[in-house]
Homo-oligomer: A and B are copies of this chain.
Amino acid sequence: MPTPATLQALRAFVEARNWDQFHTPENLAKSISIEAAELLELYQWGSTPDQDRVEEELADVVTYCIHLANKLGVDLDDIVMRKLESTEQKYPVELARGRMTKYTELQQHSEEEE
């Protein structure tokens, strides 16, 4: 991911504006945080936001994620799948089922229950 068409469109957008000079990994990392907070703002007071606005802000986050993956020379599906494998190890089904305990406390939590 994304599809070649999306990736191509995003690259052309940046190239036409000569913005590649601003797209350092650090600036893209900042941008992802900034856009993530704009998404969060829609839920600031616990309300149910308009779906169109959620989609727009989510799109902004993902757009910068694609730019960063592009810079790093990695494919998003690849890194998501690789990370999933390590997360599966950290959160074994039998321990993690039905609760959101951080993996660093999961084993201990489990032992206390016995």
Contacts and interface: CB of A to CB of B under 8 A. Distances in A.
Nearest to A76: B62
Interface residues on A, range: 35 or more
Contact of A30 (B5, B22, B30, B79): B30
Interface in A59-88: 59-63, 65-66, 68-69, 72, 74, 76-77, 79-84, 86-88
B42 A37 contact: no
17 contacts: A1-B6, A2-B77, A10-B80, A18-B98, A19-B100, A22-B45, A26-B46, A30-B43, A33-B39, A54-B72, A55-B74, A55-B83, A58-B72, A58-B76, A60-B83, A61-B61, A65-B65
